[in-house]
Amino acid sequence: MDKNSFDKTLFEKINSKSLELKDYTVKNLSKIIQVKAMSNDEKDRIILLKNLCKKAGADEVRIDGLGNCLARVGLGNKKIVIDAHIDTVDVGDRKLWEKDPFSGDFDDKYVYGRGASDQLAGAASMITAIKILKDIGYKGFNDYSVWFSFTIIEEDCDGLCWKYLIEEEKFIPDFFISTEPTSLNIYRGHRGRMEMEVKLQGVSCHGSAPERGVSAAYLASRAALAIEKLNSELKPDKDNFLGKGTITVSMMDVKGPSQCSVPDIARLYIDRRLTEGETREIAVEQVKSYISEATGLDKDKIEVTVPKYSKPSWKKKLFSQDLYFPTWVYPESHPLIEIAKQTYINLFDKRPMIDKWTFSTNGVAVAGLHKIPSMGFGPGDEKEAHAPNEKVRIEDLVKASAFYSAFPFVIC
In this structure, what CATH number is given to the domain that contains residue 395?
Answer: 3.40.630.10
CA atoms of 229 and 246, how far apart (whole Å): 11
Measured between alpha carbons, how far is residue 252 from residues 194, 266, 362 in Å? 17, 7, 29
Q: Which residues pair with 52 in a beta bridge?
A: none
In a domain, 320, yes or no: no
206 and 179 in one domain? no
The whole domain housing 118 covers: 3-190+327-411
pTM exceeding 0.85: yes
Question: Other C-beta atoms within 10 Å of 214: how many?
Answer: 20
CA 101 to CA 113: how far, in whole Å?
4
My answer on whether 304 and 218 are in the same domain is yes
Tell me: do 171 and 196 sit in the same domain: no
Predicted confidence at residue 6, as pLDDT, reads 57
158 and 16 within one domain? yes
Give the other-Cβ count within 10 Å of 176's Cβ.
26
Q: What is the pLDDT of residue 8?
A: 84
Residues 212, 176 within the same domain: no
In a domain, 317, yes or no: no
Q: Are 90 and 155 in contact (CB under 8 A)?
A: no
Please say if 285 is a catalytic residue.
no
pLDDT digits (tens, 9 = 90+) for 57-68: 999 999 999 999
> Which of residues 308, 340, 373 is at a domain's end?
308
Asked if residue 121 and residue 42 are part of one domain, the reply reads: yes
154 is catalytic: yes
Asked which of 281, 308, 335 is the last residue of a domain, the reply is 308
Q: Are 184 and 200 contained in the same domain?
A: no
Residue numbers in the chain where pLDDT is lower than 70: 1-6
Residue 152, pLDDT score? 98
Task: Mark whether 95 and 148 lie in a shared domain.
Answer: yes
Structural domain ending residue among the three candidates 275, 308, 341? 308
Determine, yes or no, domain membership for 342. yes
Question: Could you tell me if residue 319 is inside a domain?
Answer: no
The count of domains in the chain is 2
Q: Are 202 and 255 in contact (CB under 8 A)?
A: no
The reply to whether 268 falls in a domain is yes
Calculate the alpha carbon distances from 77 to 58, 72, 140 in Å. 16, 11, 9
Q: What per-residue confidence (pLDDT) applies to 7?
A: 73
Q: Is residue 119 part of a domain?
A: yes
CATH number at residue 224: 3.30.70.360
Catalytic residue among 154, 155, 278, 382: 154
Do 82 and 214 lie in one domain? The reply is no
Environment class of residue 58 by beta-carbon count within 10 Å: exposed (0-12), middle (13-18) or buried (19+)?
Answer: buried
Which of 87, 180, 195, 396 is catalytic? The answer is: 87
State whether 230 and 296 are in the same domain: yes
Strands 354-355 and 186-187: parallel
Is 150 inside a domain boundary? yes
- pLDDT (0 to 100) of residue 93: 96
How much is the pLDDT for 273?
97
Q: Is residue 318 part of a domain?
A: no
Which pLDDT belongs to residue 48?
A: 98
Considering the domain architecture, whether residues 348 and 276 belong to the same structural domain is answered as: no
Q: Which of 409, 282, 403 is nearest to 344 (CA)?
A: 403
What's 102's DSSP letter?
Answer: T
Give the pLDDT of residue 219: 97
Task: Examine the domain organization and report whether 227 and 118 are in the same domain.
Answer: no
